[in-house]
Structure 1
Amino acid sequence: MQKTKIIEAKENHKRLDIFLTEELKDDFDFSRSMVQKIIEKGNVTINQEVVTIAKKTIEPNDIIEIIIPEPESTEIEPEKLDLKIVYEDQDLLIIDKENNMVVHPGAGNKSGTVVNGLLGQMQNLSSIGGVERPGIVHRLDKQTTGLLIVAKNDKTHRLLTQMLVDHQIYKEYIALVWGEFEENEGVIEAPIGRHENDRKKMSVTHTNSKYAKTSFKVLERFNNATLLQLSIETGRTHQIRVHLNFIKHPVINDPVYGRKNEKPTAFGQYLHAAKLMFIHPITKQEININSPLPEEFNVMIKKMEEDK
């Protein structure tokens, strides 16, 4: 059911979208872009006249009426998937994602995703990601295991998104890669954009690309393979996988960026989101979560140690 809110303006020379964002903050906590969409759809009147221009200036004593639209419905089916939740409070939760699980529905993946599981066990999720990605602040690839942050409300979602932009969320990964490193640590700075010939892939390119930075540290050396600890300062699509392939050390069993002569396995690529550390955007408490390596990962490491 739609809601209507009537506000009398007491300030002069303020933009309509800014004014409504501030006035609706306590009740709805809308972002300014969301308020702008509501205005543009003709859901706001000033003195009983419909206004569709978000930057219109309001005057003292203007009577502003806003119709709050109903949340969009979704066709995504809730499922009981027994997601492994390693942290939860009233504002956010952190999932330890299993292997071969897609984060949100898309072409060819309408069920069995993290979002299906969230809808099956959560009452409240943020709406900023849209009806297809409720609560999803950032993503992990299908075959990347480990830690994933989910927002329960829009305010927390916006704050977490800004923290990612400002590099205030530390994300650490563990990867098994091909080849041996001479150095013990290093930094990869190379722009990432769509592959020129395969639009489903990303690549290091200077055409329509964005800055990307990945730091790595050698944890253990094997015969023609290396165990790495990695952290990223930017969150580009497939960033770690693309950067490691760029320096000729692709992730072992990576189905897209790995060695062409590798045989695909049920487990897939050996890349794990192992650690998250950040200051909670609402409580201001430090969140420090670690995820142990999957058993298949440990089995591969043990095999490589035996082959030294």
Structure 2
Amino acid sequence: MEIKEFLIEDNYEDIRLDVFLTDHLEGKSRAYIQGLIEKEEVKVNDKIRKSNYKLKKGDRISLSIPEPISLDVEAEEIPIEILYEDSDVIVINKSQGMVVHPAPGNYSGTLVNALLYHCKDLSGINGITRPGIVHRIDKDTSGVLVVAKNDNAHNKLAEQLKNHSMTRVYVALVEGIMKEDEGTINAPLGRHPVDRIKISVLKEGRNAVTHFKVVRRYEGNTLVECRLETGRTHQIRVHMAHIGHPLVGDPVYGYKKQKFNLKGQMLHAKKLGFIHPSTEEYMEFDTELPKYFKKILDIVEK
């Protein structure tokens, strides 16, 4: 564990905490710094602060940088459904149950392992465990995501995510019958103060906005389309639970007693649209609901 400390001079007043650290820690991205702040590895005057904290003269910053984990992520011959590929991007329709990238305790069988077998030219911005990964979807969420094959493509796609111009539409089956035909959930999200595995609605959390529209009502369930404006961890799952309609099969935020023997939440990333990094043309990919999803819809229909 490496410990670093900084004392703020007057020429750095009113600079954001994450911006200052990104400028002063060589080789560390802003996303990496924000991750350290979120994990409470950064303190200002011995207090936990958020990324957007504005520095003041005399502030003393201390942070702990974990030792890098030496990993050798291996290419594995795992079948994946490729919707589109060129020299800049690969668009994948991920199956339910597949983890997107390796993490402690889970270094094989991921989408990254499969991609490394399929092609060697992936963006290196996110390091050895997450090459090319611009955005993620949960292990038990199926659907479409785009992977960058070079750093230029990665930066341009990441910028679209940041400015909310990327189209991301999900389909979810939720508990209960929703009264509203459509609406917007604007509720900030952050790490649960007690259960650190969970995300929860917090007043001091990060801005999170989900637009929803009812597709069909069943007896006891509702099929909804959710359009992401922001893309926080577990956003749709937490937002729908927050308004009293958790996702069917959700093992973390759903009902303890489940009607169906499911492997995870009923959530599919159905549509993805973005501006191509090189051609600057808008591309959109729309996928069918997978078999596991259709099977449950047939059951609730009957």
The two structures have a TM-score, normalised by structure 2, of 0.76
How far 1:187 moved relative to its partner?
A: 0.2
Moved more, 73-82 or 128-137: 73-82
For residue 116 of structure 2, what is the aligned residue in structure 1? 119
**1:52 maps to what in 2?**
none
Identity over the aligned pairs, expressed in percent?
47
Identify the match of residue 80 of structure 1 among 67, 77, 80.
Answer: 77
Q: What does residue 241 of structure 1 align with? A: 237
Relative to structure 1, the CA distance from residue 263 to residue 107 in structure 2 (aligned partners, 3 Å threshold; closer, same or farther) is farther
1:274 partnered with 2:270: yes
User: Which one of 141, 144, 150 corresponds to residue 141 of structure 2?
Assistant: 144
Distance in 2 between the 1:34 and 1:267 partners?
44
Contact in 2 for aligned 1:178/1:225 (Cα 8 Å): yes
Cα deviation for residue 35 of structure 1 reads 11
Counterpart in the other structure of 2:208: 212
- 1:38-85, Cα deviation, whole Å (9 max, x unpaired): 9xxxxxxxxxxxxxxxxxxxxxxxxxxxxxxxxx98511110101111
Corresponding position of 2:130: 133
Which residue is 1:227 aligned to?
Answer: 223
Q: Does 1:91 align with 2:88?
A: yes
Query: Secondary structure at the residue paired with 2:130?
Result: coil
Structure 1 residues 110-144: Cα deviation after superposition (integer angstroms, max 9, x where no partner): 11000111111112000111111000000000000
1:286-305 equivalences in 2 (<5 Å): 286-305=282-301
> Which ranges in structure 1 are unaligned for 5 or more consecutive residues?
1-31, 39-71
* Post-superposition offset of 1:260: 1.3
Q: 1:250 aligned to 2:240?
A: no
Give the drift of 1:265.
Answer: 3.4
C-alpha distance 78-86 of structure 1, shift in aligned 2 (>3 A): same
Counterpart contact for 2:76–2:114, Cα < 8 Å: yes
Q: How many Å separate the matches in 2 of 1:90 and 1:179?
A: 45
> Does the CA-based 8 Å contact 1:222-1:305 persist in structure 2?
yes
Find the aligned partners of 1:78 and 1:173 in 2 and give their Cα distance: 29
> After the TM superposition, which residues 173-188 of structure 1 pair with which residues of structure 2 at under 5 Å, given as runs?
173-188=170-185
Distance across 2 between alignment mates of 1:119 and 1:172: 27
- In the alignment, the residues of structure 2 paired with residue 120 and residue 264 of structure 1 have an alpha-carbon distance, to the nearest angstrom, of 35
Q: Answer whether contact 2:88 2:277 (CA < 8 A) is retained.
A: no
Give the structure-1-normalised TM-score: 0.75
For residues 33 and 81 of structure 1, do their structure 2 counterparts lie closer, same or farther at Cα, with a shift above 3 Å needed?
A: farther
**Is the contact between residue 139 and residue 148 of structure 1 (CA under 8 Å) also seen in structure 2?**
yes
What amino acid is aligned across from residue 130 of structure 1 in structure 2? Answer: G
Partners in 2 of 1:301 and 1:179 — Cα distance? 14
2:156 to 144, 149, 159: 159
What's the offset of the Cα at 1:284? Answer: 1.3
Alignment CA distance shift 1:161-1:34 (3 Å): farther
Larger radius of gyration: 1
Please state how far the C-alpha of 1:107 moved relative to its aligned partner: 2.3
Task: Output the CA distance in 2 between the equivalents of 1:127 and 1:277.
Answer: 23
Letter of the structure 2 residue corresponding to residue 203 of structure 1: S
RMSD: 2.0
Q: Distance in 2 between matches of 1:128 and 1:145?
A: 24
- Check whether the contact 1:104–1:114 (CA below 8 A) recurs between aligned residues: yes
Per the TM alignment, residue 185 of structure 1 is displaced from its structure 2 partner at its CA by 0.2
C-alpha distance 194-35 of structure 1, shift in aligned 2 (>3 A): closer
8 Å Cα contact 2:168-2:228 kept in structure 1: yes
Per-residue CA deviations over 1:224-254 (Å, capped at 9, x if unaligned) read 1100001011010000000001011000000
For the residue of structure 2 that corresponds to 1:249, the secondary structure is coil
Contact (CA 8 Å) 1:128, 1:135: kept in 2 or not?
yes
Partner of 1:259: 255
Segments of structure 2 that go 5 or more residues without pairing to the other structure are: 1-21, 29-68
Q: What is the CA-CA distance between 1:193 and the residue it aligns to?
A: 0.2
d(CA) in 2 for partners of 1:98 and 1:108? Answer: 20
Aligned residues, how many? 241
